[in-house]
Amino acid sequence: MTAPARLPRRIALSYSVGAVGTGVFSTVPGLLLLYYLTDVVGVGAGLAAVVLFLPKLWDALLNPVVGTLSDRTSTRWGGRRPYLLAGAVVVPVMFALLFSSPDLGSPGRTAVYVGVVYTLAMTGYALFQVPWVAMPAEMTSDYHERTRLMSSRMVLLTVGILLGGAVAPLISGGKEGGRSGYALMSVVIAVVLAAALLTAWWGTRDAAFSAPDTSPRPTVRAQLALVRSNGPFVQLFLAYALQSVAIGAMLAGAPYVATYVLGDAALSSVLFVFLVVPSAVVMPLWRRFSIRTSKSTGYVLASTLFGLTALTLVLAQSAPKPLVFLQMGLLGVGYAGMQLFPYAMLPDALTLTGSSRAGVFTGVWQGGETVGFALGPALYGGLLALTGFVSSAADERVDQPDSAVTGLVLGFSVLPAVLVLLSVPLLRRYAATDARLSAQHPEEVPA
């Protein structure tokens, strides 16, 4: 049975609160884990990049499996929500352990510990994230209502990103905070994760969902064929995957730019404030713009703005700090659209195939996002290794060679800029489908 078009405010808000948790979880490891390994534990940049990549590769393989299982699950609590509960329990516990690594006698052993705990954390995240992303296509059948739901979700995602990007580095204390600072941060953030994820699970208990898929389970080849048959989804998926690599690289680079270019590790929080606050402010404006034009037009414009602005950050080594902060604010304007539009357009693309298979598509989608966010830090860590970056423990101070400083700036600016700009032609191809879907629904004034 199709869910009502207009969602009750309580259900929509509870669902959206989950974005605080997903924003925090996707931001903090991406922002701090590579830096924690290289500049607090003393793990080499190359090994640290591998430690970040392998757990996310596992997550990418797991996501389609979770999606298919949630498509076929039927309980009195709904098909998706049992997975939400499992993830809401596992993720906070594993996160509390992630940055609380014991002294195992060598950086290599600590790297193994972090890799195992991160793999378990990513498993819990898959259990929550994949069904949670699939839910909007089943919660409402209205094109613009899905945009309204995504808008509130993205505003709260911005809150989560701000908590993860600004507050977590302050609590950890950067290199000076050492292991104890990062351990304290991990416990505080774990509490935030538990509150947000459990709210999304409990608050959606009265939501109406489409019936589960009871047809014979398709093979992996059949699932991939189903995904490939949805051309608009493939275009959107590839564009978003490229952007995920870009954002992953930029997240990983922020603490290094703050420490070795701006001269103060604490400024990584300031960089995030200048990125996220404008993002939160302009999110409703992007929504209004999309209703008056189209979602794809807004997505293309936001991505182009982000890519061109990121290119200018290559001058960060010689630019005054206020100019760098201004550049980050302009990035935030584009970043807001890059957060809103793909998740507003995803449910639309799923309607072309049928929401009963939403889990298959969102599993693939989350897999692409996960690989992207894994490749970004891995590429950044590889670039650090190639340009001669010197890793060190928290109580050591080292001078980086000029080549390493240049490499960490390029990884923060040119690398993400090129990736985002490469995604724009894919989004332009999607525009025709977006125009057709939009024409099927009367224009409305955004609330």
pLDDT in tens, 38-59: 999 999 989 998 998 999 889 8
Q: What is the rounded distance in angstroms from the CA atom of residue 415 to the CA atom of residue 409?
A: 9
- Split at pLDDT 50, 70, 90, the class of 163 is confident
Mean pLDDT value across residues 76-88: 85
* Residues 138/141/143/145 CA torsion (nearest 10 deg): -80
Residue 14, pLDDT above cutoff 60: yes
pTM: 0.77
| 336-369 pLDDT tens trace | 899 888 888 887 777 766 545 666 777 788 778 8
Q: Output the pLDDT for position 91.
A: 97
How large a percentage of the chain has pLDDT more than 70?
87
Once rounded to an integer, what is the mean pLDDT over residues 63-87? 81
pLDDT in tens, 373-415: 888 988 999 999 999 999 887 777 788 899 999 999 999 999 9
| Amino acid residing at 37 | L
Q: Is residue 217 part of a domain?
A: no
CATH number of domain containing 285: 1.20.1250.20
For the chain, give the mean pLDDT. Answer: 85
Burial 339-362 (b: 16+ CB within 10 A, else e): bbbbbbbbbbbbeebebbbbbbbb
- Residue that wins the pLDDT comparison between 228 and 440: 228
Helix (H, G, I), strand (E, B) or coil at 393: strand
195 part of a folded domain: yes
Average pLDDT over residues 282-287: 86
The model's confidence at residue 284, banded by pLDDT at 50, 70 and 90, is: confident
Which pLDDT value is given to residue 359? 66
Q: Which domain does 62 fall in, by range?
A: 9-205+226-439
Joined together, the tokens standing for residue 319 give 């630019």
Nearest to 145, CA basis, from 382, 351, 405, 384: 351
Q: Strands (DSSP E) along 232-282, which ranges?
A: none
In a domain, 211, yes or no: no
Among 73-77, 143-147, 207-211, the least confident range: 207-211
1 domain-assigned: no
d(CA 27, CA 47): 21
pLDDT at 103: 83
Residue-level pLDDT at 423:
95
Each residue's pLDDT tens digit, 93-134? 999 999 998 888 889 999 999 999 999 999 999 999 988 887
In a domain, 3, yes or no: no
Give domain status of residue 214, yes or no.
Answer: no
Segment 261-283 shows an average pLDDT of 86
In this prediction, residue 205 carries a pLDDT of: 80
Q: Give the pLDDT of residue 209.
A: 55
Neighbours of 442 (CB within 10 A): 8
More confident residue, 18 or 358: 18
pLDDT for the residue 240: 93
**Region for residue 224 given its phi and psi (left: phi exceeds 0; alpha: psi -120 to 50; beta: otherwise):** alpha
Per the domain annotation, does 142 fall within a domain?
yes
At 436 the pLDDT is 62
Which pLDDT band holds residue 447 (cuts at 50, 70, 90)? very low
Tens-place pLDDT, residues 262-271: 988 888 888 9
Section 249-272 average pLDDT = 89
- Does 208 score more than 60 pLDDT? no
At residue 444, the pLDDT reads 42
Confidence of residue 446 (pLDDT cuts 50, 70, 90): very low
Q: What is the reported pLDDT for 445?
A: 39
Which residues have C-beta within 8 Å of that of residue 323, sequence separation ≥ 6? none
Q: What's the domain count of the chain?
A: 1
The HSE-up count of residue 433 (CA atoms within 13 Å, CB side) is 20
Give the model's pLDDT for residue 194. 97
446 part of a folded domain: no
Three-class DSSP category at 380: helix
The pLDDT value recorded for residue 433 is 65
